[in-house]
């Protein structure tokens, strides 16, 4: 899996990740408090300025925006149809501003930086005995490690069914996929414990 | 450093899967053979404390596998049957380094130890590779590196050449033979254990032979009718 | 948490990611795609139970949030959590929890196959449809200003698809229960 983080050194990359996350939360709240087009348009422009200077190149930047823009435009059309033009413009600007700010943060905060922030956020939980911060990192790594294995298994099951002349169907593929994958849990857990990865 | 079984057996769901036995393992190369389901993997798993003994006790270098479980894990490295389920981080070198995490080493020391073990097994080129892209032989060697880096006294290998082609079998066998650690190898590949010092044969949950490789293997052939 | 539970949670999160590789179906008239990922969420609850199921979904969303392209269609990042359909996404966590909780109460080992499937279906539908759609509608209405009644009407378009998914989830959960039981039993 290739992360959406963009490995460059723009001015936004140099800002502390925590600051960027705080700004994003503040912006998210602010755009819902604002309901006039002018301040929202300014927010959207500021978002665009951040997003397009986050170092990903124009082409990649536009490619990432398309799925989000499709939903935003659909919402705006829906609003235009059933409500007023002013409300449609407000919804369009508000959502666009949010998407742009969020996209900029995603492109400029690395997976490692995110994990550090998550570990920090998990510290109170750890002190309360509810979760272990190190486990969050281990679990995340396990997902990234085993997604390609499960995809490979999915393809193998589909092929095996095709070889037997069965047209691959959702349920017939899903059941062996889940059972075989979950059965691995025992041996993976045994390996983790045998290597002493987790503190008692 | 010896491994001692003191009247130790194993029980699962109320059934005695391994009859109690007493023995001391001190040789450098020990093989374990037997049919599927004979109890050999259970026996091996009792050594690093994965399966607690009922009844009896098991110790490694004087450390009890139940009471001193964590220290025993540090002394005994275990290579499981499915190497793909042992590499648990996406990148090979990260996985190897992860085993050193609780050792209090600096980043540079961890990197140096990781590089050293990869070089020693002749797989330095795999350091940056993704685990799911490795072949069976490469996975087996990477799993071995991940365990070796922690510096165990004993190494238990469960069917290390099981899923490998002839060429990789030879490579893994040679790599294993060159290790300084004391080895316990469970194998259906009898050629792998035939020059070992001692071979244990398990049959139907009992230790059926504890002998030189020649005699134990001969007994095994009788049991299997082959 | 035992290591095995941690691994089960992570493996299920990975299954949910894999289910998202199947491309989502876009319906023209409402801005929410139909995808097999929500099937994975129902499955997490009914197969792993409330706690592990909800944690698996939470882990999956965490990876999406930090910018891994784990959502259907290779999407990810923080943007998806502020977009109009974000309520459906965040609602996945309580959805899996409720589906798990209901399964733990309704389904037992000794029951007939039909009753188990029915129990799993009710659980998957309560979590994956009632709870998830409720949160989806609230956020859709709030974030776009389209109002609850219109958001609700738009949402109805997705109910038939999700009923079908709940049925698939129920059949799969029963098969997994027979092959590899994991659901914590409650009396």
The pLDDT value given to residue B47: 94
Q: Is the per-residue pLDDT at A169 higher than 80?
A: no
- Closest Cβ–Cβ partner in B94, B132, B146 for A195: B146
Are the Cβ atoms of A170 and C36 closer than 8 angstroms? yes
- C165 Cβ contact partners less than 8 Å away, ≥ 6 residues apart: C36, C38, C39, C42, C124, C128
> A59: buried, middle or exposed (CB in 10 Å: 19+, 13-18, 0-12)?
exposed
B85 and A187 in contact by Cβ < 8 A?
yes
Q: What is the pLDDT of residues A45-67, one digit of tens each?
A: 999 999 999 888 888 888 888 87
Provide the pLDDT for residue C75. Answer: 77
For A95-128, give the DSSP string. Answer: HHHHHHHHHHHHHHS-HHHHHHHHHHHHHHHHHT
In a domain, B92, yes or no: yes
- Are C83 and A144 within 8 A, CB to CB? no
Tell whether A95 and A142 lie within a shared domain.
Answer: no
A63 and A133: one domain?
no
Coil, strand or helix at B208: strand
A99 Cβ under 8 Å from any chain C Cβ: yes
Choice between C76 and B183, residue whose per-residue pLDDT is larger: B183
* Minimal Cβ distance to C182: which of A135, A182, A184: A182
- C-alpha span between B160 and C48 (Å, rounded): 32
Q: Which two tokens stand for residue B218?
A: 């001969």
Q: Closest Cα to residue A107, out of A148, A147, A47, A67?
A: A47
Q: With an 8 Å Cβ cutoff, are A143 and C13 in contact?
A: yes
Higher pLDDT, C7 or C37: C7
Helix (H) or strand (E) holding A39: helix A37-52
Q: Kindly state the tokens that stand for C31.
A: 């801005």
Q: Is the pLDDT of residue B98 over 90?
A: no
Residues A77 and A128 in one domain: no
Please check whether residue C137 is in contact with residue C148, taking contact to mean a CB–CB distance below 8 angstroms: yes
- Shortest alpha-carbon distance between residue A109 and chain B (Å): 20
Q: Taking the CA of residue B85 as centre, how many other CA atoms within 13 Å lie in the half-sphere pointing to its CB?
A: 23
Same domain, A87 and A30: yes
pLDDT (average), residues B69-93: 88
Note whether A140 and A77 are same-domain residues.
no
Sign of CA dihedral C131, C132, C137, C143: positive
Does residue A138 sit in helix, strand or coil?
helix
Interchain proximity B88–A196, CB inside 8 Å: no
- Are A128 and A176 members of one domain? yes
- Judged by CB atoms closer than 8 Å, whether chains meet at B73 and A195 is answered as yes
Check if A171 contacts C (Cβ < 8 Å): yes
Q: Closest CB to A99: pick one of C36, C59, C79.
A: C79
Chain C contacts of A136, Cβ < 8 Å? Answer: 59, 62
What is the CB neighbour count within 10 angstroms for residue A176?
A: 18
The last residue of a domain, from among A109, A124, A156:
A109
Q: Ramachandran region of residue A28, left (φ > 0), alpha (ψ -120 to 50) or beta?
A: alpha
B41-44: long-range contacts at Cβ-Cβ below 8 A with a sequence spacing of 24 or more? B41/B81, B41/B158, B41/B186, B42/B10, B42/B17, B42/B18, B43/B10, B43/B18, B43/B200, B43/B202, B44/B78, B44/B156, B44/B158, B44/B184, B44/B186
The verdict on a CB contact (< 8 Å) between C7 and A192 is yes
Nearest-angstrom CA–CA distance, B92 and B132: 10
The residue of C1, C2, C3 whose CB has the most chain A CBs within 10 angstroms, and thus the best one to mutate to test that interface, is: C3
CATH number at residue B122: 3.40.50.300
Residue A5: pLDDT band by 50, 70, 90 thresholds? confident
| Position B49 in a domain | no
Residue of A nearest to C16 (CA): A147
Range of the domain at A88: 11-109
Residue A114 pLDDT: 80
Choose the final residue of a domain: A109, A132, A160: A109
Nearest in space to A88 (alpha carbons), one of A75, A71, A70: A75
Q: Is residue C179 scored above 60 in pLDDT?
A: yes
C109 burial via Cβ count (<10 Å: 0-12, 13-18, 19+): exposed
Q: Which residue of A has its CA nearest to C2?
A: A189
Task: Give the pLDDT band of residue B183 (cuts 50, 70, 90).
Answer: very high
Angle at B58 (CA atoms; ends B55, B62), nearest 5 degrees: 145
Instruction: Enumerate residues 6+ apart whose C-beta is below 8 A from B111.
Output: B97
Q: Please give the tally of structural domains in chain A.
A: 2
Q: How many residues does chain C have?
A: 187
Across the interface, whether the CB atoms of C176 and A182 are under 8 A apart is answered: yes
At residue C164's C-alpha, the angle toward residues C159 and C168, to 5°, is 140
Specify the pLDDT at position C186: 44
DSSP output for C44-80: HHHHH-HHHHHHHHHHHHHHHHTT---BGGGB-SGGG
Percentage of chain C exceeding pLDDT 90: 47
- The residues facing B185 across adjacent strands are B31, B157
Total number of domains in chain B: 1
Cβ–Cβ below 8 Å for A106 and C146: no
At residue A25, the pLDDT reads: 84
Task: Answer yes or no: is pLDDT of C187 > 60.
Answer: no
| CA dihedral sign, ordered A166, A171, A175, A177 | positive
Mean per-residue pLDDT of chain C: 86
Whether B2 shows a pLDDT value over 50: the answer reads yes
- Mean pLDDT along residues A175-184: 89
List of residues 6+ apart from B119 with CB closer than 8 A: none
**Which residues does chain A have within 8 Å of residue B149's beta carbon, measured at their own beta carbons?**
none
Using an 8 Å Cβ cutoff, are C131 and C1 in contact?
no
SS3 assignment, position B130: strand
How many angstroms separate the CA of residue B7 from the nearest CA in chain A?
24
Q: Is residue B112 situated within a structural domain?
A: yes
Same domain, A70 and A149: no
Range in A22-31, A73-82, B8-17, C25-34 with the lowest mean pLDDT: C25-34
Whole-number pLDDT of residue C94: 97
- Judge if A40 and A104 occupy the same domain: yes
What is the rounded average pLDDT for all residues in chain B? 89
Alpha carbon of residue B56 to chain centroid? 22
Determine how β-strand B154-158 pairs with β-strand B182-186.
parallel
- 44-83 of A, contacting C, C-beta below 8 A: 64, 67-68, 70-72, 74-75, 78-79, 82-83
Residue A126 touches chain C, beta carbons under 8 Å: no
Query: Does residue A199 form part of some domain?
Result: no
Q: Tell whether B87 is covered by a domain.
A: yes
- Write the ipTM: 0.88
| 1.10.1760.20, 3.50.30.30, 2.40.50.140, 2.170.190.11: CATH of C3-179 | 1.10.1760.20
Band of pLDDT at residue A166, cut at 50, 70 and 90: low
**Do A147 and A177 reside in the same domain of the chain?**
yes
Q: Is residue A181 one of the residues assigned to a domain?
A: yes
Pair A158, A78 in one domain? no
Chains in touch with C (≥3 Cβ pairs < 8 A): A
Q: From the CA of A130, how many Å to the nearest CA of chain B?
A: 21
Residue numbers of the domain that contains B149: 28-38+69-196+205-224
Q: What is the rounded distance in angstroms from the CA atom of residue C182 to the CA atom of residue C53?
A: 11
Distance (Å, rounded) from C-alpha A143 to C-alpha B212? Answer: 45
From CA B225, how far away is CA C35, in angstroms rounded?
A: 55
């Amino acid at each position: 899996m290739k992360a959406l983080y963009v490995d460059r050194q723009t001015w936004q990359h140099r800002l502390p990740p925590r600051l960027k996350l705080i700004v994003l939360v503040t912006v998210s709240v602010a755009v819902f408090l604002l309901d006039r087009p002018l301040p929202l348009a300014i927010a959207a422009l500021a978002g665009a300025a951040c997003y397009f200077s986050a170092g990903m190149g124009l082409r990649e930047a536009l490619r990432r925006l398309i799925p989000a823009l499709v939903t935003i435009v659909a919402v705006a059309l829906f609003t235009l149809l059933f409500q007023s033009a002013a409300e449609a413009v407000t919804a369009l600007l508000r959502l666009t501003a949010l998407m742009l700010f969020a996209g900029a943060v995603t492109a400029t905060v690395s997976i490692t930086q995110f994990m550090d922030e998550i570990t920090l956020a998990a510290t109170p939980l750890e002190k309360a005995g509810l979760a272990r911060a190190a486990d969050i990192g281990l679990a995340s790594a396990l997902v990234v490690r085993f997604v390609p294995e499960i995809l490979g298994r999915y393809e193998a099951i589909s092929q095996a069914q095709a070889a037997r002349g069965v047209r691959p169907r959702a349920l017939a593929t899903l059941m062996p996929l889940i059972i075989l994958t979950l059965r691995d849990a025992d041996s993976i857990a045994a390996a983790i414990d045998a290597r002493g990865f987790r503190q008692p | 450093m010896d491994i001692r079984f003191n009247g130790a057996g194993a029980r699962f769901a109320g059934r005695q899967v391994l009859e109690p036995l007493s023995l001391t393992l001190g040789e450098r190369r020990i093989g374990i053979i037997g049919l599927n389901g004979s109890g050999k993997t259970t026996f091996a798993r009792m050594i690093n404390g994965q399966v607690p003994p009922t009844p009896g006790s098991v110790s490694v270098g004087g450390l009890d596998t139940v009471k001193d479980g964590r220290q025993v894990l540090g002394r005994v490295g275990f290579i499981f049957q499915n190497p793909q389920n042992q590499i648990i981080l996406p990148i090979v070198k990260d996985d190897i380094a992860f085993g050193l995490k609780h050792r209090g080493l600096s980043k540079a020391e961890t990197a140096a130890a990781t590089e050293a073990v990869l070089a020693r097994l002749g797989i330095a080129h795999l350091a940056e590779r993704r685990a799911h892209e490795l072949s069976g032989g490469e996975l087996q060697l990477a799993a071995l590196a991940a365990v070796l880096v922690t510096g165990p006294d004993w190494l238990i290998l469960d069917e290390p050449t099981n899923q490998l082609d002839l060429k990789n079998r030879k490579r893994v066998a040679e790599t294993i033979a060159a290790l300084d650690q004391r080895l316990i190898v469970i194998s259906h590949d009898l050629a792998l254990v035939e020059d070992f010092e001692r071979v244990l044969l398990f049959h139907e949950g009992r230790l059926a032979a504890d002998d030189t490789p020649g005699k134990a293997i001969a007994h095994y052939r009788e049991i299997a009718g082959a | 948490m035992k290591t095995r539970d941690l691994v089960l949670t992570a493996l299920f999160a990975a299954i949910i990611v894999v289910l998202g590789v199947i491309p989502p179906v876009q319906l023209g008239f409402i801005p929410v795609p139909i995808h097999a990922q929500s099937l994975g969420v129902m499955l997490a609850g009914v197969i792993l139970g409330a706690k592990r199921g909800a944690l698996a979904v939470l882990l999956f969303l965490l990876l999406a949030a930090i910018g891994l392209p784990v959502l259907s269609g290779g999407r990810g990042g923080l943007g998806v959590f502020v977009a109009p359909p974000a309520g459906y996404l965040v609602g996945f966590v309580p959805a899996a929890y409720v589906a798990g909780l209901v399964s733990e109460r309704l389904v037992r080992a000794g029951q007939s196959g039909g009753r188990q499937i029915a129990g799993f279906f009710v659980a998957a539908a309560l979590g994956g449809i009632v709870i998830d759609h409720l949160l989806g509608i609230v956020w859709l209405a709030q974030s776009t200003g389209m109002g609850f009644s219109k958001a609700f009407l738009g949402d109805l378009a997705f109910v038939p698809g999700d009923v079908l998914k709940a049925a698939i989830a129920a059949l799969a959960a029963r098969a997994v229960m027979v092959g590899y039981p994991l659901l914590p039993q409650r009396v």
